[in-house]
Amino acid sequence: MQSRLLALGLAGLVAAPASATIDWTTWHSVVTTPFYVTTATGTVGGVNVTYGKILGGAFGEIGYAQCTTCAPDGNDYWRVGGSPFAAYDALPNLPLNNHLLAPSSRTIYELKFDRNISELYMLVVSLGDFFPTAWLFSDPFTIIDEGTGFFGIGTLNPFVVSPNIAGFNWHGVLRFVFPTPTSSLTMDVVAPEDLPLWSGFTIGIPSASPPPPVIPEPATWAMLIAGFGIVGSALRRRRSLAAA
The per-residue pLDDT for range 140-161, each reduced to its tens digit, is: 999 999 999 999 999 998 889 9
Q: Whose CA is closest to 22, among 77, 92, 114? A: 92
Burial 184-194 (b: 16+ CB within 10 A, else e): ebebbbbbeee
Peptide bond before residue 213 is cis, with ω within 30 degrees of 0? no
**Where residue 133 falls among pLDDT bands split at 50, 70, 90?**
confident
Domain ranges of the chain: 2-15+214-243, 22-206
Q: pTM above 0.85?
A: no
Query: What is the signed CA dihedral for 70, 134, 186, 99, rounded to 10 degrees?
Result: 20
The total number of residues written for the chain in this structure: 244
Kindly report the backbone phi and psi dihedral angles of residue 19, in degrees, each rounded to the nearest multiple of 5, phi listed first: -80, 135
Q: Which pLDDT tens digit goes with each residue over 7-30?
A: 333 333 333 333 479 999 999 988
